[in-house]
Amino acid sequence: MIRLNSIAVRIAAGVVAAALIAAFAYWLGSRQAGPGTGPGNAEGKPEILYWYDPMVPDTHFDKPGKSPFMDMQLVPKYAAGAGADDADIVRVPAATLQNVGVRTARVEPGHLSAEITVPGSIAWDLRLAHTVSARTDGVIARLLVRAPYEPVQAGQPLAEVLAPEWSAAAQEYLALGRAESADARALRAAARNRLLVLGMDEAQIRSLGSGNPRLLLRAPVDGVVGTLDVREGQRVQAGMPLLTITGLDSVWLEAAIPQAQAEGIGPGTPAKVSVSALPGETFEGHVEALLPDIDAATRTQRARVVLDNPAHRLAPGMYAEVTFSGAAGPAHPLLPDEALITTGADARVIVAEGEGRFRPVRVTTGRSAGGRTEILHGLHGGERVVVSGQFMIDSEASLSGALERLSPPTDAAHAESHDQHMHMPADTPAEGKGHSNADAPATHADHVHEPAPPAHDGAHPPPAHAPEETSGHDHPQGSGP
């Protein structure tokens, strides 16, 4: 009897143990399935469809864990919201935002400063250039300036010329000098005028009485010999240029301005110039002309700045940096350059709406300066845009179809181009641009603050190995969104 009771007790204990094991297995299975594996849950959290690596979004996994491709945790893919307002929303868990290091910045309306810094070079002021030419046929008997860039002063002898035509006119003028009649004096005045027409000046005419058949050519102005086109003993013809003398009291600075930044710069625009050969010194001038010519290779437009150079310290050929202070343009929303995602002709930003909600917005950009870009259409100011880590959010938006819903293409060609760029990685454009500042308040980027993820409990430990793919293949293989 006692033995039968013992057997019955053992059977009852086994049944109870089996029931407990079954109940525990059911509970554990429901916990592993997660609150989002069904159409909804009691807490109202969105449904989790699968997990994926943002760098390889086409490969799906059935449970969380570490990515087999990258040294990062897998990201859950949530079901899209039922409302029309949630169709373009991308939801990212707080833990993912902290791991990726997502940062945002506020879009501030303001004026983009027209102050830009561009390279330039010092050149001759061609308005101070004087060309010494031969007035008659002759021979360069003696050349007193033998090399280019020699400094000369006004009245300094440059060359001695033997000119037969000048000699004949000079002999006629000297012969009539001893005549005393009225007719002879009239002829002498006519001979003197002929010498002036031939190119002689008053000093040369007065020197004819010395008996020297050679005539001196003198420098008309102070400066340096820019070009020397003749040599001693060379025969020259009337009108032939002999040399060029250029003054250095003022010089030109030719600056290369990118055509996209030339707006607001014109005649009279102030300019500050610094030259590496003269550190610590600044030369001020103004724009004389914005030349109507665009360099086809560099897409820049030249601006001519006139600089006073009384001490002749600025020399043609010097490299310089010039800062223009143009007129400020109209007010527009301004955002950091790194917030832009550009794919060909398309540009968009990721707007943070709080609580892990993000929305891609297509924008039209304007000018860029000082690390910031004007937004002509798409934003109004006051929004917060993602400036770091937006590649992951943009990838999620591409998977959910939010990018296709930004704005419909206008024709088939545009639709094909948009589809080709849809899955390209989003690169932040590099700008250079100058050392400019904007009038609007400085934009400060900060981290997205989300509540920390719940700690793991014993019933739901983190996976120790990479999760299995839902496709069921041995090797990673995309199964499509």
Give me the amino acid identity at 435: H
The whole-number average pLDDT for the span 1-27 is 59
The per-residue b/e assignment along 186-200, b for 16 or more CB within 10 angstroms, e otherwise, is ebbeebbebbeebbb
- The pLDDT value given to residue 402: 58
The whole-number average pLDDT for the span 378-395 is 83
Cβ atoms within 10 Å of 34's Cβ, excluding its own: 16
- The pLDDT value given to residue 404: 58
pLDDT at 49 over 50: yes
Segment 93-142, tens digit of pLDDT: 888 777 878 888 999 888 877 788 899 999 999 999 999 988 888 899 99
pLDDT at 212 over 70: no
- The pLDDT value given to residue 435: 39
- The pLDDT value given to residue 30: 44
Q: Which is higher by pLDDT, 237 or 94? A: 237
pLDDT at 160 over 50: yes
The whole-number average pLDDT for the span 271-289 is 91
Q: Which is higher by pLDDT, 363 or 468? A: 363
The whole-number average pLDDT for the span 158-171 is 82
Q: Which is higher by pLDDT, 84 or 260? A: 260
- The pLDDT value given to residue 403: 61
Query: Can you tell me the distance from the alpha carbon of 115 to that of 131, in angstroms, rounded to the nearest whole number?
Result: 39
- The pLDDT value given to residue 168: 77
- The pLDDT value given to residue 143: 92
- The pLDDT value given to residue 300: 92
- The pLDDT value given to residue 203: 73
The per-residue b/e assignment along 337-370, b for 16 or more CB within 10 angstroms, e otherwise, is bbbbbebeebbbbbbbeeebebbbbebebbbbbb
Strand order in the sheet with 108-111: 108-111, 331-336, 372-377, 364-369
Choose the weakest-confidence range: 44-58, 119-133, 230-244.
Answer: 44-58
Segment 315-369, tens digit of pLDDT: 999 999 999 886 666 788 998 888 888 877 788 888 988 888 888 888 988 877 7
The whole-number average pLDDT for the span 175-182 is 76
Q: Which is higher by pLDDT, 345 or 447? A: 345
pLDDT at 37 over 70: no
CATH 2.40.50.100 describes domain 132-241: yes
| Residue ranges matching CATH 2.40.50.100 in the chain | 132-241
Fold annotation for 88-111+330-447: 2.40.420
Secondary structure (H, E, C), the chain: CHHHHHHHHHHHHHHHHHHHHHHHHHHHHHHHHCCCCCCCCCCCCCCEEEEEECCEEEEEECCCCECCCCCCECEEEECCCCCHHHCCCEECCHHHHHHHCCEEEECEEEECCCEEEEEEEEEECHHHEEEEECCCCEEEEEECCCCCCCEECCCCEEEEEECHHHHHHHHHHHHHHHCCCHHHHHHHHHHHHHHHHHCCCHHHHHHHHHCCCCEEEECCCCEEEEEECCCCCCEECCCCEEEEEECCCEEEEEEEEEHHHCCCCCCCCEEEEEECCCCCCCEEEEEEEEEEEECCCCCEEEEEEEEECCCCCCCCCCEEEEEEECCCCCEEEEEEHHHCEEECCEEEEEEEEECCEEEEEECEEEEEECCEEEEEECCCCCCEEEEECHHHHHHHHHHHCCCCCCCCCCCHHHHHHHHHHCCCCCECCCCCCCCCCCCCCCCCEEECCCCCCCCCCCCCCCCCCCCCECCCCCCCCCCCC
- The pLDDT value given to residue 19: 58
Query: Can you tell me the distance from the alpha carbon of 239 to that of 242, in angstroms, rounded to the nearest whole number?
Result: 9
Give the architecture-level CATH label for domain 116-125+248-325: Beta Barrel (2.40)
pLDDT at 470 over 50: no
End-to-end CA distance of the chain: 67
- The pLDDT value given to residue 319: 94
Q: Which is higher by pLDDT, 284 or 346? A: 284
- The pLDDT value given to residue 48: 83
Query: Can you tell me the distance from the alpha carbon of 91 to that of 80, in angstroms, rounded to the nearest whole number?
Result: 9
